Structures are given as C-alpha cells and as structure tokens.
Chains A and B, each alone.
Chain A
Amino acid sequence: AQTVTQSQPEMSVQEAETVTLSCTYDTSESDYYLFWYKQPPSRQMILVIRQEAYKQQNATENRFSVNFQKAAKSFSLKISDSQLGDAAMYFCAYISGSARQLTFGSGTQLTVLP
C-alpha cells in the first residue's frame, strides 16, 4: 500500500524568507502523480502544485517549487518570499496513474511570522 509521510507537524518562517516542507512516499508504481495542497483557516483545500512522476523537471508555480527526488521517493515543497497568506496546513498527496483516490500525508502546519 502507498504511504505518504510528512515528518514536520509544524514549521514557521519569517515573512519574505524561504521555507521547505518535507514529504516522503512509498510506492512500487512507476506511473503516479504527487501534489501539494494548502488548507488555510477557511479549510478550503487548494491545489498548490502538481508533479508527474515521469517528468524529471521539478514543477514550479510562481513562488512555489518542488524538489522531486524519484529514487529517494522524496517530494519537498519550497516556498520562496513567504507571505502572511501562505500560513496554512500543507498536505502532500499521492495518486497512482491507475487509481482514483488520493493518499494524503498527515500535514504540516506552517506559520508565517511578520
């Protein structure tokens, strides 16, 4: 069974600084996708970034980028120039190419300090 592990329950970062959230996963599949979702205090789940396993290039979305290490099964999220609005719970998630449901990590609560 696939598992997703987020080893940092809480992280904090100073506004305008950079922070990296860690995520590791376990799978025997070769075709899969990885995601970072953000859940702010409103509790609306928002897609931050998506990575296809077959792509070697790390995905980027503005201030958000990932470090995808396929052999190490690691998928970390880097947030640059952190803003107060980035404060949220961040979930790493996995889905295989043939599956329909996501497997979520336990989440990392990010606090942005002014």
Chain B
Amino acid sequence: GAVVSQHPSWVICKSGTSVKIECRSLDFQATTMFWYRQFPKQSLMLMATSNEGSKATYEQGVEKDKFLINHASLTLSTLTVTSAHPEDSSFYICSAPTLSGRGNIQYFGAGTRLSVL
C-alpha cells in the first residue's frame, strides 16, 4: 500500500512554545490531507482538511490560529501547534487519500504524541 510518513513520532515541549508536525506522502501525490486528534481509547476526531495551494478547512470548534496548517506541496502538509499548552497534549494523526484505482483509500501516518509540560 501507499506510505504516509509522519514526524516526529513523539515530542515534548514547554508550555508556550510552538511545535511543527510534518506529514508526507512518500509514493503518491496528495492534493488533500487530513489531520486528526485522538484521545486515549477514543475515535479519531477530524480537526482540519489540508488543501494543496489553498487554505485549510477547519472543523467546527477547532481554533485555526492555534493549529496552523500549511500544505506546501503535493507531498507535504504541516501542522503547527502554536503557543502549546498542556490541554493540547494529545495524539495527532495525518492521513492522505489516494484513488490509485482502489477507490478512496486513506493511508495514515504513524501519529505524533505531543506532550506539553
């Protein structure tokens, strides 16, 4: 299957600092990528849709100034958590859809565990 790479896998930061998470599609182009947040033992919650060459679309209740998304190329989307606080600690996952003849399959990055001290 297609590969989506996500880095870093784990980051610890001090409160008030910003953290950038990268999501790359390694063997296919992705004009769209998705960013999710997941709390322990819960489902994935869609935060935003990243669109190459245009602004991201945020889900209701997600602060766009807190979670900055940049889709700089057809293979890279970044999520920056600005002025992170302990309540931002969570597991963040990206995904990218590929049609590739298999109809709307989404491939996921391995996720990033963010711990804000």
Residues of A within 8 A of B (CB): 33, 35, 37, 42-47, 50, 52, 89, 91, 95, 97, 100-102, 104-107, 109
Residues of B within 8 A of A (CB): 1, 32, 34, 38, 41-44, 46, 49, 91, 93, 95, 97, 102-108, 110-111
Q: Give A106 to B39 CA distance when docked, in angstroms.
A: 12
Q: Give A37 to B91 CA distance when docked, in angstroms.
A: 17
Q: Which residues of A contact B108 (CB under 8 A)?
A: 37, 44-46
Q: Which residues of A contact B46 (CB under 8 A)?
A: 101
Least Cβ–Cβ distance between A65 and chain B, in angstroms: 18
Assess the A107–B103 pair: CB atoms within 8 A: no
Chain B residue with Cβ nearest A103:
B46
Assess the B95–A45 pair: CB atoms within 8 A: yes
